[in-house]
Amino acid sequence: MTTPIAMSTAVVVFIAIPVAIAWVAGLVDIFRHPMPTGHRVFWILIVLVFPIVGTLAYFTLRKPTEREVRAAQAAAAERRR
């Protein structure tokens, strides 16, 4: 049986740190992704108020950039060869 200290360390290492990294990555992406100011403010508020669900929703619902679309098309064409 694991001790409470070991269990809390595992929770931090395997859950809290990856969630924090995803949250920061989401905030950075919101600032770097081209979108109208109103949409940006909306997503920042959602991600700050609901860190886990807001970040997941943002990455799920955001529109890909032209560069991301071209990269995905190039990768798909490369797989077909």
Instruction: Please give the model's pTM, rounded to 2 decimal places.
Output: 0.76
Residues ≥6 apart with Cβ < 8 Å to 1 = none
One-letter amino acid for residue 73 of the chain? Q
Q: What is the pLDDT of residue 81?
A: 84
The one-digit pLDDT tens for each residue of the chain (81 residues) are: 556 666 788 888 888 899 999 999 999 999 999 999 999 999 999 999 999 999 999 999 998 989 999 999 999 999 998
Q: Provide the number of structural domains found in the chain.
A: 1
Q: What is the pLDDT of residue 1?
A: 55
d(CA 42, CA 64): 18
Q: What is the pLDDT of residue 3?
A: 64
Q: What is the pLDDT of residue 71?
A: 94
Q: What is the pLDDT of residue 8?
A: 84
Q: Which domain holds residue 56?
A: 4-80
